Structures are given as C-alpha cells and as structure tokens.
Amino acid sequence: MNEHQLDHAKGLAREKRDEAGNNQNQQVAATTQTANTKKKKVISSDVILSVDNLHVSFSTYGGSVQAVRGVSFDLHKGETLAIVGESGCGKSVTSNAIMGLIPQPPGRISAGKVMFKDMELTKMTKKELRKVQGVDISMIFQDPMTALNPTLTIGEQLMEGVRTHTNANKAEAKQKALAMLRLVGIPNPEERLKQYPHQFSGGMRQRIVIAIALICEPELLIADEPTTALDVTIQAQILELFEEIQAKTGVSIVLITHDLGVVAKIADRIAVMYAGKIIEIGTKREIFYTPQHPYTQGLLNSVPRLDLVGEELQPIEGTPPDLFAPPTGCPFTARCPFAMEVCDHVHPATTAKSFTHRVDCWLQDERAQTV
C-alpha cells in the first residue's frame, strides 16, 4: 500500500469513527429526551377504594378458619398500595373479597364492607358484580399459565372482555386487543394474536394477563403476586411496565406480594399483614426506614443485604398462629422477642405515629419499656 492509499484509508476510518460518534450522541440525546418526557404518575386525594373492618371466614370439617380479621385501609386514585406478609396471612383472601370472588359456601364475609367509589361491593349480587368485575376493577392472578385458557388463542381471550362489557363489534375488539398488546410490549401483535398460551414464554404470558386485565380500562387493578414465577430480569421488566401503564392511565393498584424488593420498586404505601390483620401501615419510606412493629422489623432483617458481608440472615423464629382458634391478644406474641404479659391477653390499640403511619403494638404504649 503506497502513501496515498494509506492516507485515503486513514481518512475513511476517521469518517466512520466520526459517524459512529454522531450516531451514539444522537442515541444518548434520544434516550435523555425520552427520560425527560417520561410521564410521571399523579396521586389524587380522592379515595377510590375503602375497606372497613373486613372479616372473612371459611367453614371446614375442622371448624371455622378466620382468614381475615378486621382489615381496614383506603386507596387513593393513582396510588399503589402493597400488601405484604408471609404465606397464609390473608393477603389473597382480602383481594378476592374485594373482587367478590370468595366462594360462598364455604367462604363468608361475616362483617365489614368494601366501598368502590360510591358502590358497596359486599352487598352486590353476582349479576351486579359482573358489571363491575373486569370493567371498573380487574385482577391479575398469581400464575399466568393457569389464568389463561390453553384451548383459546390469545386474541379470543383478549377480545372476550371487550365484547362482553362493551358494544364493540369483532373488528373494533380486535383493534383494541392489538393496541393492548403493543402497550404491554408484545412484538408482532398481529401474528401473536393468533397464537396459543403455550407458544409464549413465562414473561410474555404475564404481559398478556396484564393486557387482559387492562383492556376494559379499569380504575382499580389488583395484582396478586404478579412476579412470583418470573426470573429477576423479567420481573424488573414487568415492574417497569406497571409504572408506565399507571403513569399513562392513572389506574390505582393493590399489589399483593411477599417480595420486599418488588415493594421497594413500585409501592407508594405498604400494609403489613399478619394472621389476618393489618398490623402496620405507612408510606414506603416509613415502613423501610422507621418500622415500628417487631414483625415488620423481622421481615426487613430477614432480607439478604449486599452491604453486610459474612453476616447470617436473621429468620423470624416460630410459626404463625392457628386461625381455627386465633389468639385474643397480639397474634405475633409467641414469636415476638419483646412480648409482654399484656400482649397475650389484649389486642393492642392502633397507634398513629404520623398522619400516614399506623401500628398495632403494645410497645407504642407510653407505659411500655423502651426497646
């Protein structure tokens, strides 16, 4: 290669390098612009859901299981409330009671009420509830594979809700279904609409379940363990999808989970459940940084942390109480390292630590010793 050819080759390499740099700068600028224009969610002061002193029990051969015992909370428009707690504490029963999905018998809502805007859901008939379910209130169930019908195409399952609850014809329902698949990030929606659930991955199936729940544009979305069966990468994508959809549509979300990592990502407020009761409720910052109930502290201490090298996990010793015969006092007494005699006999009153932070614990009483 002579000197002229060498100079020409260097010139071409310089031009390609400059072009690549310009493309990279354009991509960075586009990403920055997208981040800056990303719509933020708005939380209203309007209460969209109010649960007041809800009691749910199930009759069995062994007796009556008191699964939910006096649960109360409010949810504001555009807000995400996470209900956390270990398995069997009543999270899913609470969500099913809100949706009107408690099988009666053996289940029974023995006391309390659930208000959705100005409608009392607990007094509605099945026919009246059908007009609310899937339209105003939707639910995402735990396992997307069992939530989808393996004998129907994804398109049929998406369009069913639209055609049942609206006056849309088949063509309009199909366009709505395609739009929802695009919203939840399913590529090639026209082709995917004709496919069956087994032709999708776990993460894709979960996106489709979310699309089915949102297709009638509900105001309240109940997500029951929506990321349990997913790996961490897909889990992060689903959580980002929730945030994007909430910012675009303003939907309120009740998130049922036992994963505190999920809670830290998207929740605005957190309700901690134990043995059928909400024992502490507060904002995300209040629960994570100033937990007051020993059970909440135990949950946080049992989460693995990257900043503690060589430290052993601190499990919560013992097991939850038997809800066939729940304790009269604090349900956490048998496992609590700070339990006092009064804890075993009398349930603690609710103490307001702030306008948003409430806890049921005798340690908050002024007569209790500081721990």
3-class SS of residue 130? helix
- pLDDT for the residue 294: 93
Name every residue whose Cβ is closer than 8 Å to that of residue 221 and which is 6 or more positions away in sequence: 137, 138, 139, 140, 213, 214, 251, 252, 253, 254
Quote the tokens at residue 285. Answer: 């910052």
Element (H, E) at 256: strand 252-257
- pLDDT for the residue 32: 40
3-class SS of residue 316? coil
Mean pLDDT of the chain: 82
- The CA distance from 246 to 240, in Å, is 10
Taking only the tens place, the pLDDT of each residue in 256-271 is: 988 888 888 888 999 9
Residues of the chain with pLDDT under 70: 1-39, 229, 308, 369-371
- The overall longest dimension of the chain from CA atoms, in Å, is 97
Taking only the tens place, the pLDDT of each residue in 80-119 is: 999 998 888 888 899 989 988 888 888 889 889 999 988 8
Stated pTM of the model: 0.81
